[in-house]
Structure 1
Amino acid sequence: MSGNTITRPAPPTTAAVAAVPAGAADRPLAQSRAARELSLKRSELDLAVHLGCVRTVPDEGGGGRRVARSEIDRLRAEEGFPQTLRARVQAVGSKDAAAILEVAPTRFVRLARLGLVTPVKFYLNRYRAVVWLYLADEVRRFAADENNAPWLTGRLPQELRTQLDDGLDLRPRNWRGRHLGFLLRQAEDPWARAAAPASLLDPVHLAEIVRDPYERAHLNRHRPPRTDQGPTDSPAARLTGTIMTADDPDEIEWLRADLRQALVEARAHRLAPRPRRKEPAPRPARNVKRPANRPETPGPASEKRHGLLGWLTRRHP
C-alpha cells in the first residue's frame, strides 16, 4: 500500500457525536493536526505556511497560529491532492538542485551565490555549516526557461567570476527578502508590520530610526521569533543571527525606509504604551489660625482659670 494512501475514518457513533462539544468541528486546528490532515510532515507544513500555500488564523487563546477547517477542506478538494501540495513545498539541497539543472553542484552553488536562484530556508548542520535549501519547483522552472540556458553551459563572464572570487554571496540577502515577505503576510497589526523590517536591522540602525525607548520595547514585543539554535550566546545562535541581519548598504537603507513608513502607520493606528505617571502625594494640611473673635473652646484649663477668678472676686463676710 502506498504511503500516500489516506484511510477514511469510520462514521462516528451517536455517542461519539454527543460527546463532541458544540461547534468543535468548526474550530481551527493546531498546525501539528493540520499537517496530518494534509498528509504533510510538520516541516513541510511550516514551509507551506511560509510560502502562503496554507493560510493560517490567529489562535484566540494565544497559543500560536492555527489552520481553519475550511482551509483544510479547500486544499483537500484540489485536484491531485496531496501530491500537488507536497510538490509545491518540496525543498532540495544544492546536490539535488544541481541534478535537476543537470550541472555540477559547484556550478549550482555559484549560480545561487549570484542570486539567480533564491533559497527558501536554511539550517545549520552538526558542523555548524550553513545548508541552504531551494524549492524544487523553482529550480525546475529555472531549467525550463530558455533564457537561462547560457547560465547552465559555458564559462561565466569574467566580471562575475571576479566577484565570486572576492566573496560575493547573495543567498543571505535574497533569503531575508523572501523572509520579510512571509513576516508581512502574517502580520495583522501595524506594529507587527513595523516589527518585520525592524527584526532584520541590527540594534544600532534600529535605535537611529526608533529613538523612543518605549516604541523600541513595543516593537520587540511584536518581534517575530528567530530560529536560533542553542543559547543566545552560542556560536550557532550568533551565526544564525548574522544571516538574519542585513549587512548590505543598499539593503539596510531599503529596510530603514520601509521601517520609517511602517512607523508612521503604526503611530497613526495606536501609540506605543507608556508607563502611567505616578500621582503626586497629597500635601499635608497647613495649620489654620482661628479667628480672633472665635470663643475659646471650654476645657479643663479654662474651667480652672474661671474658678480662680471667681474666688478672688468673691466678697468674704
Structure 2
Amino acid sequence: MVGGGRAAEELGLGRGEFARAVQLGMVRAGPCATSGAARFARAELDRVRAVEGFPDALRERVRTVVAAGAAELLGISPGRFTRLARCGRVTPVGYRINRYRAVVWIYLASELLEFARREPGLMRGSAPPEDRELMEARADLRPRRWRGRHVGLLLRRTADPWERAAVLASVLPEEELERAVPDRAERILLTGLAPPPPYGHPQIPAAAAVAAGLLRADPPDELRWYRTSLEFALVGARDQSKTTGERGPT
C-alpha cells in the first residue's frame, strides 16, 4: 500500500488530477491508514496503468475546465454555456470559491465534448421551451445537479448500510435530519460517519461558509427525496444492527 502522493507520482498525475480520478472511481482507494489517510494498493495502480491509452487517456478523462474554458472548448458564447449549465444540461464535477466569495463551477472536459456531440441542436439557435421557462423563473440547477452527482459517487464507494445512510444524512439541514432521525444517538452516529468535504472545499472560514451551502439540499422536492432515501437506508442499517448486535458499520 502507498499513500496518495506516491500513488499520484507513480501514475504521472498532478495532485488535483489524482484527487479527481479517485473521486470519480477511476482509481480505487484501499483501506485507510491508522491516521485516516487514504492508501492505494500497488495492484490497483498496476490495473490503472494497464488501461489502454495510459497515461494520456486518464489525464484526458480527468481534465477540467471552468465556464469560460468550457465555452471556448464547445465553440459557443459564455452566455450560452451559462444558460445550459443553469438549466441542468451539464453537471459540474466540483467547485471552488474565488476571492470574491463567488462559486466557480468546474466541469469535466470529456463530458462537455460528449454532450456537444449528443446535443448539437443546443449548441446553436434558440433555447428550447423548457429552458426558457427555467430562465424566466431565474432557476439555477447547478447546485442540485452537483449534489446529486456527489452523493451518487459517495454511495458507490461503500456497501455498508450505516455509511450509506450517513452519506444521505450529510446533505440534509439539521432540522430536516432531526425530523428524519428522531433518535439522537442515531444522529450522533450518522454525523460521526459523515463523509469529509469534497476535494477543493475551502479552508478559509468566509469561503467555507459559502461552500457549506452547496452541501445541503434546498428545494422542497429535493429535501423530500433525500429524507425518504435516508429513511429507507436506515431500515437496512437498523436490520444490520439487529443481526450483528452492534450499531454502526461492520
Shift of 1:237: 2.1
- How far off its partner does 1:133 sit? 0.8
Tell me which structure has the larger Cα radius of gyration: 1
Does residue 235 of the first structure (1) align with residue 206 of the second (2)?
yes
Contact kept, 8 Å, 2:74 with 2:116, in 1: the verdict is: yes
Report SS of the residue matched to 2:106: strand
Residue 32 of structure 2 is matched in structure 1 by 59
Q: SS of 2:107's equivalent?
A: strand
Which residue does the alignment assign to 2:125?
Answer: 154
> Which residues of 2 match residues 105-254 of structure 1 at below 5 A?
105-145=78-118, 148-157=119-128, 160-227=131-198, 228-230=201-203, 234-254=205-225
TM-score, normalised relative to structure 1: 0.73
Q: Which deviations, in whole Å up to 9, do the C-alpha atoms of 1:220-256 show, x marking residues without a partner?
A: 110111255336xx33222111111101122111111
Q: C-alpha distance in 1, partners of 2:247/2:153?
A: 24
1:81 to 54, 64, 78: 54
Give the structure 2 partner of residue 5 of structure 1. none
Residues 57-79 of structure 1 show CA distances to partners (whole Å, capped at 9, x for unaligned) of 12252422211100111111222
> For residues 42 and 149 of structure 1, what CA distance do their matches in structure 2 show?
34
Change (3 A) 1:138 1:30: same
Count of residue correspondences? 242
Q: Which amino acid aligns with 2:68?
A: K
Measured against aligned partners, the alpha-carbon deviations of 1:89-142 in whole angstroms (never above 9, x if no partner) come to: 011111121122210011101001111100000000111111111111011111
**8 A contact 1:114–1:169 mirrored in 2:** yes
Bigger helix share: 2
2:196 match: secondary structure: coil
- 1:187 Cα shift? 2.7
The runs of at least 4 aligned residues of structure 1 exceeding 6 Å deviation read none
**Is residue 262 from structure 1 mapped to residue 247 from structure 2 by the alignment?**
no
| 1:22 aligned residue | none
What is the aligned partner in structure 2 of residue 281 from structure 1? none
Any conservation in 1 of the 2:96–2:202 contact (CA below 8 Å)? no
Which is bigger in relative contact order (C-alpha 8 A, separation at least 6)?
2
AA aligned to 1:182 is L
What's 2:75 paired with?
Answer: 102
- Report the CA distance between 1:177 and its aligned residue: 0.5
Q: Which runs of 5+ in 1 are unaligned?
A: 1-27, 274-317
Letter in 1 for 2:196: P
Output the amino acid matched with 1:268: D
How do residues 21-32 of structure 1 correspond to structure 2 at under 5 angstroms?
28-32=1-5
Instruction: Answer yes or no: is the 8 Å Cα contact 1:214–1:272 preserved in 2.
Output: no
The 2-side partners of 1:254 and 1:62 are apart by: 35
1:92 and 2:65 matched: yes
**Cα distance in 2 for residues equivalent to 1:156 and 1:36:** 44
1: CA distance between counterparts of 2:126 and 2:232?
Answer: 43
